[in-house]
Structure 1
Amino acid sequence: MNYQIPNWLIILGGCGQIFTALIYPYIRHQVFDWYNDVKQLKPLNQEIAKTYGRYIQGLNFSFGLIAILLPDQLQNHTELAIAITGLICAYWVGKVATQIAYYPMYDIPKKKLFKIGSYFMNSLFTFFAIIYTWLFSINIYQFLNL
């Protein structure tokens, strides 16, 4: 039996990932006052923090583009499909695990918009983790002909 995830669902996930990349600077600046915190670091550490922020933004955007442009290839059960969906799965599952394990210790500003936004973003991250875990699992299952 050949299991498939509807392409529209993968594309929807891709749009969500691009959204997270585009909204990321706003969240850092408006919600977390990140730039002022980074200014307190030594210059090299400032650049490292900014670089990692750009990596995160770039990965989210790139994963979104891959999902939008190549939904069929993400579920064609090849070694490359397994590798890509496994990578993206690990990324989002790790993000959700980190969010659950560490972020509740910190206060997000109490504005209603930020509270609603945090639920929305956490739901998106969970959605991405589920979609890519599902894709990865189907690719492995079909590749091994189980």
Structure 2
Amino acid sequence: MNFSIPNWLIIIGGCGQIFTALIYPYIRHRVFDWYTDVKQLKPLNQEIAKTYGRYIQGLNFSFGIIALTLTNDLKNQTPLALAITGLIGAYWVGKVITQIAYYPMYEIPQKFIFKIGSYFMNALFTLFAIVFTVLFIYNLIGIL
């Protein structure tokens, strides 16, 4: 099989993941008023919620840095490339499934910018899921 994922696509995925990490606090604060809701929790639960929010932000940023700095390594069909692309792909596939299954039940504020932002972010999440799942499959085929 003479198929290869273009580096520019992985780089776009990396930049997008860094973007999601950087925009995450704004979305929590401005779109979802997340901190007001978190303040209603017990102090320990507040810290747990904030910690998980930081984990998400840190993972998104880290995945982006990996994509930008190790672009060729992510498609070199080694066991490590398989593991990393599998992890990143599974993370984003899970995010897309969660987005489809649970988020439509909730209202996003009806400002035009938030609606457009919602479509844009969902498109990014889907892009990440596709790119890293295809990379995973590519690496798997190369190992088998």
**Could you state the TM-score of these two structures normalised by the residue count of structure 1?**
0.97
Contact 1:2 1:142 in 2 (8 A): no
Q: Distance in 2 between matches of 1:108 and 1:9?
A: 30
Partner of 1:59, secondary structure, is helix
Partner of 1:15, secondary structure, is helix
User: Deviations for 1:9-50, whole angstroms, at most 9, x for unmatched residues?
Assistant: 101100000000000000000000000000000000000000
After TM superposition, the structure 1 = structure 2 runs for residues 3-82 of structure 1, keeping only pairs within 5 Å, are 3-82=3-82
Q: Distance in 1 between matches of 2:3 and 2:138?
A: 7
1:3 CA drift (Å): 2.4
Q: Distance in 1 between matches of 2:4 and 2:85?
A: 14
1:65 CA drift (Å): 0.3
1:142 CA drift (Å): 1.0
Say how many residue pairs are matched.
Answer: 144
Moved more, 1-10 or 36-45: 1-10
- Kindly report the root-mean-square deviation, in angstroms, between the aligned alpha carbons of the 2 structures: 0.6
Q: Distance in 2 between matches of 1:45 and 1:2?
A: 51
Partner of 1:126, secondary structure, is helix
1:4 CA drift (Å): 1.3
Gaps of 5+ in 1: none
Q: Distance in 2 between matches of 1:18 and 1:112?
A: 24
Amino acid at match of 2:103: Y
What residue is the counterpart of 2:101 in the other structure? 101
Deviation above 3 Å: which 4+ runs of structure 1?
none
Amino acid at match of 1:62: S
